[in-house]
Structure 1
């Protein structure tokens, strides 16, 4: 087994540079071939982008896991449901800033370079994360507390809006030919790793401190710990190089810009593509611990540790699915995920709500996470391949972030609202089913791009 794992990573990452150069020239032409980059540099590029991804999304996860506690500290209300809705609304507000951040920082990435954009995003997210950990509560400064909380969420949203598109473009463009799926999958696994890290940190903190301590001050600890990653991420990103694809695009004569309709059309595809990805991600990963605690009869600590186990599977599986997409194509994996979230949510959530054991609940979470891993492995490269290099970060970031803002950021809010309106905890599955149908229809019409060159 160890040998097979070694063979996989040797084959996947140690792609012979001579063969890569021949493949690049054969598919692009010697005159258009991108500048070559050593394997060691490609690995550094991948690591620099990935460590930043961990910081960028760590706080979003921590906030979702501590939403109930944040509700009592910043949104005091006689109705527990109303306070929780207000807390999740503040969570969603951070996503509203994502499209703006995607457009602005994405444009910087296309004009000034991917490196400049990635340095901006890591500082923005660190500011928002540590800022939330230092904020005074409603009890101390009154209505100014939730206003400042929303302000921190907006800063995070602007940074995160530019981060995903910038980091994804950077990683995919740095990949050897024939390995874009694998590299994109590793980058996406780093985002899942931030979910895992947030889940573990919150679980450890809630286990280490009493309920009174958590409500008093210990809820701040996970946010403040996020600041530790800033100097590491900044150092790594400061020393990266621009991607070969970006450098090649800069050296080419400027082509006629795509017309407005074409740009809008590409963003619309990215928008529809992302719906099931973001809805499944934020319901199954961010909202699930809250859902299980309230409706499945398990403790918060059990829910967080169960989530951590399922997330571990997601982190490990995503690069393998990315590598698989390099071999069999992106569409089979993407469509399989859409189909799974059309067919499975209702019956499996019914099992969870029927007093299922913790082992059964975790097994169901693992199954869902495997399908999310299939989408996350193929998704970054498939979406990057849709856009031309000279406008990739602007268009991809905007389309992706807009979809995430509308459908993902408010997924916990919508799920809580659906349960409140219908008086049925099964109702979030309707949201998942509709998302699977819409994205499945969009992806069905995609052209397979796994074996084509980047434009």
Structure 2
């Protein structure tokens, strides 16, 4: 185990680890991971962009606000399955290997995407429509629960010496790519199609595209190289027992650290579209551009943050951009509320999303570095899923409720400030290995 890790590692079982340092990273390692991550977050982003349209298709109601809340609640339902997926798939990744787990997650995600794309509306099949929609979201949530730990562990374990930050940052960069492509497709459809066509079939187009790309990711993942030597005598229960018995305190810090970043991510990258439409009275075509900008800067900011963390250390790149983000949240949102212009919206979302990405990408590398290889995927999957289930799933709904209940659009700023303060405080006790030290 790394000498700098914050807790000792129990010797409940012995799984032989593959060498931590490799000279060359196969391109398919990055591509296979990115495609799966992209599909997962692409579906999430597209759903949030078309939440109003989906609400009308699947949740008939006299009050449009009720339709939006039901649609956003269904978005949140996917998070309920994340803890179960994180436990089962995370432990499976530490027992059977990263490759097997990643192949499983993208298969489940593909099925969920297909259901989203092909399910008829409430007017056509009645109650079965929202039931199928909720089922698809649950399956996607189960898959997403195990994706984070297996994918990030695979990336950092595949990294050449001194490049774990850059390699691991592809996890968040792929999310940015998904946000950008989802927003771009949403903007094109919104401009090109009439409201009637968009309501009838246009919103399904992105899900059909995701359904068609999924087999490519499945093929690539089946042919990736494994990063651990699988210990068949190790049970999934043994993995979980070793994790919680030896690293319980570290898991709590990890969950709290993720909470601040995940709330900020979901608010800036998804809820801001709804915020711009409802609170700032902007047209949908304009509001979607905010998500596009957030995705683009998240992609580049993540890779920048990861690369810089290899040179200056993980903690420095997590803490300092986060402190600057904290200082800017309130004045930035106050500016966009006052101006209510596209320029102000894009400037604020772009700036805050850049700082968020530069800080969050090395944060996603730091967390699994603190855990030993034999429980690493389960540790990150469970801590990330717990935080996103409690906070990510409720971020959009709570933000919408908060702004409506207070009648003050700036109440969103205080929500973000408190969330980021909690995440920063939880990070302080965590001690990852140095960027150039090998993982166990």
Q: How does 1:23-422 map to 2 (within 5 A)?
A: 34=19, 37-41=22-26, 43-243=27-227, 246-247=228-229, 258=242, 260-422=244-406
In the alignment, is the contact (CA less than 8 A) between 1:85 and 1:417 conserved in 2?
no
Cα–Cα, structure 1 residues 404 and 170, in superposed 2: closer, same or farther, change >3 Å?
same
Give the drift of 1:268.
1.1
CA distance in 1, matches of 2:43, 2:106: 12
TM-score of the aligned structures, taking structure 2 as reference length: 0.90
Give the drift of 1:212.
0.8
Q: Residues 106-164 of structure 1, C-alpha deviation per residue, up to 9 Å, x if partnerless?
A: 11111111111001110111111121111122222222221221111000000111111
Give the drift of 1:38.
4.9
Give the drift of 1:450.
3.1
* Greater mean alpha carbon deviation, residues 399-408 or residues 139-148: 139-148
Cα–Cα, structure 1 residues 377 and 89, in superposed 2: closer, same or farther, change >3 Å?
same
Q: Residues 89-109 of structure 1, C-alpha deviation per residue, up to 9 Å, x if partnerless?
A: 110110111111011111111
CA distance in 1, matches of 2:265, 2:157: 25
- Are 2:416 and 1:432 aligned? yes
Give the drift of 1:324.
0.4
For 1:18, the equivalent position in structure 2 comes to none
CA distance in 2, matches of 1:260, 1:121: 23
For 1:25, the equivalent position in structure 2 comes to none
In the alignment, is the contact (CA less than 8 A) between 2:99 and 2:222 conserved in 1?
yes
Tell me, which stretches of 5 or more residues in structure 2 are unaligned? 1-15
Cα–Cα, structure 1 residues 248 and 445, in superposed 2: closer, same or farther, change >3 Å?
same
Q: Residues 228-286 of structure 1, C-alpha deviation per residue, up to 9 Å, x if partnerless?
A: 2112101111111101xx2398999x999747443322321221110111101100001
Alignment: residue pair count: 421
Cα–Cα, structure 1 residues 149 and 33, in superposed 2: closer, same or farther, change >3 Å?
closer
In the alignment, is the contact (CA less than 8 A) between 2:153 and 2:368 conserved in 1?
yes
TM-score of the aligned structures, taking structure 1 as reference length: 0.87
In the alignment, is the contact (CA less than 8 A) between 2:172 and 2:298 conserved in 1?
no
For 2:439, the equivalent position in structure 1 comes to 454
CA distance in 2, matches of 1:111, 1:321: 31
Cα–Cα, structure 1 residues 360 and 238, in superposed 2: closer, same or farther, change >3 Å?
same
In the alignment, is the contact (CA less than 8 A) between 1:297 and 1:355 conserved in 2?
no
* Greater mean alpha carbon deviation, residues 442-451 or residues 414-423: 442-451
Cα–Cα, structure 1 residues 291 and 339, in superposed 2: closer, same or farther, change >3 Å?
same
CA distance in 2, matches of 1:281, 1:316: 15
In the alignment, is the contact (CA less than 8 A) between 2:179 and 2:291 conserved in 1?
no
Cα–Cα, structure 1 residues 446 and 209, in superposed 2: closer, same or farther, change >3 Å?
same
In the alignment, is the contact (CA less than 8 A) between 2:165 and 2:306 conserved in 1?
yes
SS of residue paired to 1:39: coil
SS of residue paired to 1:445: coil
Give the drift of 1:403.
0.3
CA distance in 1, matches of 2:18, 2:124: 60
CA distance in 2, matches of 1:256, 1:200: 41
* Greater mean alpha carbon deviation, residues 418-427 or residues 125-134: 418-427
Task: Please report the RMSD computed on the Cα atoms of aligned residues, expressed in angstroms.
Answer: 2.3
Cα–Cα, structure 1 residues 204 and 255, in superposed 2: closer, same or farther, change >3 Å?
closer
For 2:4, the equivalent position in structure 1 comes to none
Cα–Cα, structure 1 residues 228 and 108, in superposed 2: closer, same or farther, change >3 Å?
same
Give the drift of 1:37.
4.3
